[in-house]
Structure 1
Amino acid sequence: MPSPAFLIPLGVSAILGAIGGLAFQWVHTERAWELFTAAFLWTLISAAGTTIGRLVGERVRRNQWRRALWLAHVQSFPLTTVFLLVAIPFSRGAVLVPSVLPVLYGSTLAIALFMTVLGVVTARF
Structure 2
Amino acid sequence: MESNFLVQTPGGGALIQLELVKAAGGEELMVRVLDECGGTWEEEDDIGNVVVPMDASGTVAVSTKECPGLRPSTVYYRDLNSGETRVRAYNLAGKHKNVEVVESLSRAEGNKRS
TM-score of the superposition, structure 1-length normalised?
Answer: 0.29
Q: Give the structure, 1 or 2, with the largest relative contact order (CA under 8 Å, sep 6 or more).
A: 1
Whichever structure has more helix as a proportion of its residues is: 1
Whichever structure has more strand as a proportion of its residues is: 2
